Structure 1
């Protein structure tokens, strides 16, 4: 059994590459294993490297990478040999700043192709099994869905209901995408009646290897996975460029992402081409989204002076009062900055800008937050008042705005 971190609905697991322990995002939506080169994991750990060009989602051009074959990868005592890895140029795609923790790579098919996984999102535990030793739990309340593979990526059939065409359920083929933070992506297609609902707003949906991914964010009345009905999930409709790049498999209608998968215990079985789902206690939880219009990223560690009461200096006073002196210490703590701002958002209208260094959020030092905490602060309550103190070009400034619930 292996523990994992769940960050922005993404699974981060430890994997050893050629004997070096690294942190990877487990992403069923990728066919290639990708390594982000840093000072602690440069291309010298890879075997027989050569330069190639690859591309992913986003509007940018193909990018240079290092192709390496014959690598050894291991997790939970299971070892794979002769694996292919694509290493990105240092600093090109900074996933760590988006996650708030060190991320060394993304792995999907290479790890999953010969294994059966049991993913417990609530306990943040994964079990890896060889196919002949996997103990499937007896489960009368589970749904088993067949998986179809295209380009080494898994697809499942589900149904969605759109408010644009009444109560009709539309069958859709979705990429099973544990590397997607959203609940659903849908591709607009008038031949299948899939189009953006009446109520939506423009947003930055994420960032791919080839740049920023834009689109419309909305909700749909419900989706059905087998007999499971999930009500009012959020859904993202990609821009035309990203849709064209993502839809190389023409039958694909979108993605089923971590925002839905985390509501289940998931048995992922590539060898037998199936996935089994069992509801967990998060099944009926509301679907939240970032209502601030701010894309916040980790900005490294900063030295922070912290003051603590010195209990040894306790002095009684009259009227039941006590007095303490304080001591201070300096510690390295996380810092955060604004990477992008949606101009039409309340934060954008208030005057916040890309590059602003965050000092405080609602009178709490930004260094006391994790990146997950900040996203939750912006996601859970519409009309919530946000007060942010920032530093811009050396000058401290304070801004106030309210979270806008647009869908």
Structure 2
């Protein structure tokens, strides 16, 4: 088995896409298929079946070929054949990583099926997105699905529609905007304008539905793309090649044709973490989930266009984490639960002289496994850091409610609350329970 060094670089891509029987097709002569998805931290999570194994994938427009995290236990029944080793590299300051390219896999997404899908299987357990989202994530899929269908994404109602492009007819929509797409290395780009420090700058942005932030910009002093004095340094997220850090700030506006979003969150990633992304010199950054979710979209790769329409999220204010805490799901912990058993007769099982039935409650306990949420990043000078919390602390209770009764997303949502809201925590630090209190404070 030979090894090939393969970097995820960006190359010119032109011309219309061709459609053939080697791609995804809709079964039973359907013209479209509707698939429900979960929206988790601004990311689209869809059900995908590979070689008969039922899995969950992120729908990621920034991915050329499907990637499956084959170290997860749910993929035990996944047969990976005809493999060849490659070295891949993505965002992050880490090194390239090994992946096995596998051919002739059967992919099924709803009623859509493909019988000869290539994919990359990754065995490195460090490349795991499940802890950050709190639900099993088995892989990423993008271009191979988008090129074979007209893909309608309804963020508001949380479904996608896969339309057969031979039968798809676009609807008349006076409130919509049609945006031309450009492609490099099978990834879609659009042109927009950003107003930074009160100066309007034209930018070329990757459409990255696999990113949960709003907007990433690559610092460029010649263009005026840089954070002014009002920013904070933060953990930006995990890339395939490691963690990404950088500056967070606000920009005045972003203009996508007639649509204007104001006071938008922006991140300026450290230059070392985006070496691969900057292979395309014309690229100025990415537009990601926290902007994309504000539109219902129709991607038509064959016509090289995307149609945008405002939805219920459009006017939602952009906000930052006001606690300084980043959490991950780290397996399960043992939780002691109290259960009460009802006794029909509290007085030695007999009735009183008045024939009144006495009912008693007898407590008992049992132990169950519940999710553990661990602090993995703590922003310097944040309210949580000043309160004395540390990386590695396990949060057991928040605002008088046990954390295993929340999802990870629900807990993180509390950290984006109103200025000066109080957060009360009970944490486990090396087996010792401690209480901490702090008030939310904007980092800007």
Q: TM-score, normalised by structure 2?
A: 0.85
Q: For residue 16 of structure 1, what is the aligned residue in structure 2?
A: 49
Deviation string 1:99-128 (CA, Å, 9 cap, x unpaired) is: 100110011112211111111111111111
> Which moved further from structure 2: 236-245 or 340-349?
340-349
Query: Per-residue displacement from partner, 1:8-32 (whole Å, max 9, x unpaired)?
Result: 0000001111222210000101213
Q: Is the 8 A contact 2:62 2:188 kept in 1?
A: yes
Query: Is 1:390 paired with 2:421?
Result: no
Cα pair 2:343 2:362 within 8 Å, conserved: no
Bigger mean CA deviation after superposition, 9-18 or 41-50: 41-50
Tell me which of 388, 394, 401 is aligned to 1:357.
394
Q: 1 CA distance for matches of 2:420 and 2:338?
A: 33
C-alpha deviation, 1:212, in angstroms = 0.7
Secondary structure in structure 2 of the residue aligned to 1:232:
strand
Q: Distance in 2 between the 1:387 and 1:179 partners?
A: 32
Question: Paired residue for 1:27, among 36, 60, 63?
Answer: 60
SS of 1:338's equivalent in the other structure is strand
User: 1:99 corresponds to which residue?
Assistant: 133
Q: Structure 2 CA distance, aligned partners of 1:292 and 1:314?
A: 51
1:217 partner SS: strand
- Closer, same or farther in 2 for the Cα pair 1:297/1:323, shift >3 Å? farther
| Aligned length in residues | 398
Q: Please state whether the residue corresponding to 2:73 is helix, strand or coil.
A: coil
Q: CA deviation at 1:43?
A: 8.8
Write the mapping of 1:129-168 to structure 2, written as runs, cut at 5 A: 129-163=163-197, 166=198, 168=199
- Structure 2 residue aligned with 1:302: 333
Structure 1 residue 135: Cα displacement: 3.9
- Contact 2:343 2:359 survives alignment (8 Å): no
Closer/same/farther in 2, CA of residues 135 and 363 from structure 1, 3 Å limit: same
2:36 is aligned to 3
Q: State the alpha-carbon separation in 1 of the partners of residues 425 and 252 from structure 2.
A: 34
What is the distance in 1 between the residues matched to 2:146 and 2:316?
29
Q: Is the alpha carbon distance of 1:267 and 1:393 closer, same or farther for their aligned partners in structure 2, counting shifts above 3 Å?
A: same
**Counterpart residue number, 1:341:** 378
> In the alignment, what sits opposite 1:325?
361
In structure 1, the residue matched to 2:437 is 400
> Could you tell me whether the CA contact under 8 Å between 1:197 and 1:220 is conserved in 2?
no
Provide closer, same or farther for how the CA distance between residues 80 and 387 of structure 1 changes in structure 2, counting only shifts above 3 A: same
User: 1:50, CA displacement in angstroms?
Assistant: 2.3
Aligned counterpart in structure 2 of residue 120 of structure 1, from 154, 160, 168: 154
Alpha-carbon contact 2:52-2:78 (below 8 Å) kept: no
Report the CA distance between 1:283 and its aligned residue: 0.6
Partner of 1:366: 403
Which position in structure 2 is the counterpart of 1:182?
213
Gaps of 5+ in 2: 1-33, 347-357
Kept in 1, the 8 Å contact 2:320–2:443? The answer is no
Matching residue of 1:226: 257
Aligned residues of 1:47 and 1:68 also touching (Cα < 8 A)? yes
| 8 Å contact kept, 2:422–2:438 | yes
Of 110, 113, 116, which aligns to 2:144?
110
Distance in 2, Cα, partners of 1:270 & 1:190? 33
Structure number, greater radius of gyration: 2
Deviates more, 1:384-393 or 1:97-106: 384-393
Gaps of 5+ in 1: 316-321
The residue number in structure 2 matching 1:254 is 285
Find the aligned partners of 2:360 and 2:309 in 1 and give their Cα distance.
Answer: 54
Change (3 A) 1:143 1:310: farther
TM-score with structure 1 setting the length: 0.93
Spell out, residue by residue over 1:39-58, the C-alpha distance to the aligned partner (whole angstroms, 9 max, x if none): 22149512211222111111
Distance 1:5 1:314 in 2: 48
Q: Does 1:56 align with 2:81?
A: no
Instruction: Identify which range, 268-277 or 327-336, moves more after superposition.
Output: 327-336
- 1:76·1:128 contact (CA, 8 Å) conserved in 2? no
- The 10-residue stretch of structure 1 (130-139 or 298-307) with the greater mean CA deviation from structure 2: 298-307
Q: Residues 391 and 230 (structure 1 numbering): CA distance in 2 closer, same or farther, change over 3 Å? A: same
Give the corresponding residue for 1:207.
238
Q: 1:383, CA displacement in angstroms?
A: 2.2
Structure 2 counterpart SS, 1:247: helix
